[in-house]
A and B are shown apart, each in its own frame.
Chain A
Amino acid sequence: MKTVVMPKMGDTMESGKILSWLKAEGDHVDKGEAIAEIETDKVNIEAQSFVDGTLRKILVPAGESVDVGTAIALVGAPDEPIEAGSPQATAPEAAPARSVAASPAGTNGVAPSAAVATAVATGNGASAPVGTDERVFVSPIARRIASENGLDVSRLTGTGPNGRIIRQDVEAALSQQMVAIPPVVSPTPSQPAPAEAATPTTPAPAAAVSVPIAEGDEVVQLSTMRRTIARRLQQSMQNAPHFYITMSVDTTRLAELRERINDYAKAQPGAAKVSYNDLIVKACAMALARMPQVNASFDGDRIVRHHHINIGVAVALDDGLIVPVITDADRRGVLDLAHESTRLVEAARTGKLTPADIQGGTFTVSNLGMFGVEEFTAVINPPESAILAVGVIEPTAVVEEGQVVVRDRMKLTLSVDHRALDGATGARFLAEVRGLIEQPMGLLV
C-alpha cells in the first residue's frame, strides 16, 4: 500500500486544503494522474499519485486542511488489506500535565519538598513542526516561552550551538513585536468559535482575540489566502520596523514615452500594451540594479543581498490579494516586461498562477492609483526590505522658474525595513526611481 501525501509546492507552503477529490475510493489511478485538487497558500494545484493502483482510502476529506507531508490517501492493489496502522492524519499528541511530589521520608534520595511540581502542558506549540524538511532545534525553555506567547519558532534564526533556537532568540523576536499579544481567550459556549480557530492547520494569527458575536453578525471562515495574508503581514509589521518616504514625481515625459511605445507596440503582433505600472516596475528594477543594498532581505544576524531582481506586483482579487513576481525585471525590455505582467495579472484573476509565478520576489510595487488614491503606505512583503506604494497621476499646480504651471504628477511612497536600510539609503533609492521616471529614456537604453 502506498501513501499519497500533501505535496509541498514552494518554500512557503506549510499546509494545503483539499478542495475536491477527483477520484473516489475504488477508482483506478495511473501513475502521475491527478487525484485531488489542492488549495495552497496562494495557488491551486493538483495532487498526483506516484504509482499505478486503486485509490483504496481517502484519509483527508474535501474541505480539510493538513500540513505538508501528511498522508492524504492510500493507493494499492484492489484486494490489498488496509492495515490498522496505516498512516492517519493525526492530531499532535497532547502530553498530560504532570506533577511530581517528592517523598517526605528523611532518608530518601530527594530532600523533603513542599512541591517539586512541573505542571507543564505541552500543546500544539510545543511539538516539533510537522512537514518541514529540516528539523528545527529549539531549547526546551525557548520552546516553552514561544508556545506561551503564540510565537512560531520555525521562523526564527537560532544563535545557539548547531543553530539551536535558544531563549534569547525567542525573547528577541518577542521584543520586536510592536503589539503585546493578548492570550487567546476561550469564547463562551454561547459564542461558537470558528472551527478552524480551535485546531489551526497553519499557525493562526497570534493576535486572535475573542470577538463578541451579536445577533445578525456573520462569521466568515478564513480562506487559506486570507489566513496567509493575515499571518505574513502581521509578521511583517511586528518584525520589521517600517519607515516611510514620500516623493512627488513629474510624469509628463513618462506619459509621452508610454504613448510612443504603445504606438509602436500596436504594429507588433502579440505585443502587450504597456501600462504606467509596467514603466514604474522597470524604473524600480533599474534603480535596484544601481543600488543592490535595497534588493536585500534582513535575516536575523545577517543581510542577504539578492542576485536576481524579481519584482512583485500586487494584484487585488475579489477575495484577497496576490503578488505574482516578474523575474529578472531589470533585464527585461519594456515590451517583454509588459507581456509578462499582463500574463501574470490574467493568471492571478483566473486562479491559474503556478507556484513559480509567486516565488522569489525581492521588491514589490503596489499601485492604488486606479482608485484615485493620492498616496498611501504599504506593508512590506517579507522577506523583502521595501515596497513602493504608487498613487494616482493628477494635474498639479507647481512652481517652475517663478511661474505657476500645471504638470501631471504622482506621489510615490516607499516603505522600508529599518533593520536592513536607513533613511538616507531609502531616500537615494526613491530619488533614483524619480529620476528614471522623469527622464524615462533611461528605461529604454
Chain B
Amino acid sequence: MRTIMYREALREAIAEEMRRDERVYILGEDIAGYGGTYAVTKGLIDEFGGERVRDTPLAEEIIIGTAIGSALAGLRPIAELMTMNFSLLASDLIINSAAKFHYMFGGQTRIPLVIRMPGGGGAQRGAQHSQFFESMFAHIPGLKVVMPATPYDAKGMLKSAIRDNDPILFVEHELLYSVKGEVPDLGEEYTVPLDRGEVKREGRDVSLITFSRMTHVCLQAAEELAKDGIEAEVVDLRSIRPIDLDLVLDSIRKTNRAVVAEEGWKYYGTGQGIAALVYEHGFDWLDAPIGHVTGRDVPMPYSKPLEKAALPSRAEVIAAVKAIVPAKRTVAAR
C-alpha cells in the first residue's frame, strides 16, 4: 500500500487502462500540454501522445458529441469536463443521445463513455461553478452516476468505469483532489465495482448515508459523536445510480436510524430519493424519522464566510444525529 492523492489515483487509473486497451483515449479542455485544470492528466501526453490525449475547443457540446461519436465507432473515450456546471451545455447529448442509443437502436450500439467532472462547492467558485447536478443525471435511466470519496475508490471505480460498456458520469470534487489515502502498490491490479457502496465506519446507533466529499465530513462527525457514546455507521454510497440499496437497508436494520448527508440542495435531490427508498423498503426497521443534512437552499454565495455557512457542516451532521438518537441510549453506551 501507498498513500497517494485522489488526483494521482485518477491519473494512475487512466494511464493503466490506456496501457491495457488502446481503444481508450482522453479528451477535454487543456488536458494535454497543460495537464488538466486540476492536474489529473498531467504527463499523460508524454506517454500516450497527442492522438490519445486530445485538447478540445472550449465547447462542451463538441467534447461530448465527439466522445459519443467515437464510442459508437468503437473507441472508449474518457471525456473531461472542467466542471459539472458545464455539463448543462452538453446535457442534451448526455441525456438524449448517450443514455438512449443502446435502447433506441435495439441493442445494436453501446456507448462505452466516461465523463469525468468535478462538482460541488467550497473553493469560492461562485454560484454558477459550485453545483452538484448528480441527482438530475441519476434520474435518467440509461446513465450511471458514481461519486467516489477516497483515492482507493477513485482509482478502482475509474478503472471499472472505463471497462464498462455504458455511459457513466464520474463525478469528482474540487476539494477531493488533494485528499490522500491508501492505494495498492503499482502493478497490483484491483477494481471497485460501480454498483456497491461501502461501510467506511461501523456503528450501531445511527447510519450516516452519504457520498463524495460529505463522506469525510461524516467520518469526522462520527469521531466526535463517539466521544458522546454514539456510534455512527458511515455508509459511503460511492455510486448514486445504481444505488446499493441492500447496503443501506442492512445498515438501517442494525441501527434503526438514518441521517442522509449530502452537499447538494435539499429539495427533490439525491438524499430525498434515498430517504424515499428507505421508507418504501425499510419502514419496519426505523425507530425515528430519517434526518437530512444538505447545503442551504440558495445559489452558492461567493463570499467566503457565506459560502461556508451555505455548505453542510460537521456540526449539522452531529445535530441531526442527536435529534434522533435517544439520550438514554448514549448514557447506556458509556
Question: Quick check: is B245 within 8 A (CB to CB) of the other chain?
Answer: yes
CB distance from A110 to the nearest CB of B (A): 5
**Whole-angstrom CA separation of A366 from B295 in the bound complex:** 65
30 pairs, A vs B, C-beta closer than 8 Å:
A100-B281, A106-B144, A108-B242, A109-B138, A109-B141, A109-B241, A109-B242, A109-B243, A110-B242, A110-B245, A110-B277, A111-B195, A111-B242, A111-B245, A112-B195, A112-B242, A114-B246, A116-B249, A116-B281, A139-B287, A140-B283, A140-B285, A141-B284, A142-B287, A143-B284, A159-B328, A161-B324, A167-B287, A168-B326, A168-B329
CB interface residues, A 306-354, toward B, < 8 Å? none
Are B242's CB and A140's CB within 8 A?
Answer: no
Are B284's CB and A120's CB within 8 A?
Answer: yes
Question: Quick check: is A282 within 8 A (CB to CB) of the other chain?
Answer: no
Query: Within 8 Å CB of A141, what residues of B?
Result: 256, 284-287
CB distance from A146 to the nearest CB of B (A): 12
**Whole-angstrom CA separation of A108 from B103 in the bound complex:** 13
Chain A at the B interface: mostly helix, strand, loop or mixed? Answer: loop
Selected from B246, B285, B329, the residue in CB contact (under 8 A) with A113 is B246
* Given A159-B328, A168-B328: A111 touches B239 (CB 8 Å cut-off): yes
Question: Quick check: is B180 within 8 A (CB to CB) of the other chain?
Answer: no
Interface contacts beyond A116-B249, A168-B332: sample of 13 additional A-B pairs, CB < 8 Å, sorted by A: A106-B166, A106-B195, A107-B166, A111-B195, A111-B245, A114-B246, A140-B283, A140-B285, A142-B287, A159-B326, A161-B323, A166-B326, A168-B329
Are B286's CB and A140's CB within 8 A?
Answer: yes
Contact string against A for B residues 266-291, beta-carbon threshold 8 Å, 1 for contact and 0 otherwise: 00000000000100111111111000
Question: Quick check: is B244 within 8 A (CB to CB) of the other chain?
Answer: yes
CB interface residues, B 281-334, toward A, < 8 Å? 281-288, 323-324, 326, 328-329, 332
CB distance from B325 to the nearest CB of A (A): 10
CB distance from B164 to the nearest CB of A (A): 8
Query: Within 8 Å CB of B95, what residues of A?
Result: none
Query: Within 8 Å CB of B39, what residues of A?
Result: none
Question: Quick check: is B176 within 8 A (CB to CB) of the other chain?
Answer: no
Query: Within 8 Å CB of B144, what residues of A?
Result: 106-107
Question: Quick check: is B196 within 8 A (CB to CB) of the other chain?
Answer: yes
**Whole-angstrom CA separation of A111 from B238 in the bound complex:** 12
Q: Name the residue on A nearest B247 (C-beta).
A: A111
Question: Quick check: is A118 within 8 A (CB to CB) of the other chain?
Answer: yes
Question: Quick check: is A212 within 8 A (CB to CB) of the other chain?
Answer: no
CB distance from B29 to the nearest CB of A (A): 28
Question: Quick check: is B142 within 8 A (CB to CB) of the other chain?
Answer: yes
Question: Quick check: is B143 within 8 A (CB to CB) of the other chain?
Answer: yes
Q: Name the residue on B nearest A166 (C-beta).
A: B287
* Given A141-B286, A144-B284, A167-B287: A108 touches B141 (CB 8 Å cut-off): yes
Query: Within 8 Å CB of B277, what residues of A?
Result: 110
**Whole-angstrom CA separation of A141 from B279 in the bound complex:** 12
**Whole-angstrom CA separation of A160 from B287 in the bound complex:** 9
**Whole-angstrom CA separation of A252 from B27 in the bound complex:** 108
Contact string against A for B residues 13-24, beta-carbon threshold 8 Å, 1 for contact and 0 otherwise: 000000000000
Q: Name the residue on B nearest A108 (C-beta).
A: B242
**Whole-angstrom CA separation of A78 from B269 in the bound complex:** 59
Contact string against B for A residues 148-184, beta-carbon threshold 8 Å, 1 for contact and 0 otherwise: 0000000000011100101110000000000000000
Question: Quick check: is A392 within 8 A (CB to CB) of the other chain?
Answer: no
Query: Within 8 Å CB of B284, what residues of A?
Result: 118, 120, 140-141, 143-144
**Whole-angstrom CA separation of A102 from B248 in the bound complex:** 14
Query: Within 8 Å CB of B243, what residues of A?
Result: 109-111
Q: Name the residue on A nearest B240 (C-beta).
A: A109
A-B pairs with the 6 shortest C-beta distances? A111-B195, A111-B242, A139-B287, A167-B287, A141-B287, A111-B244
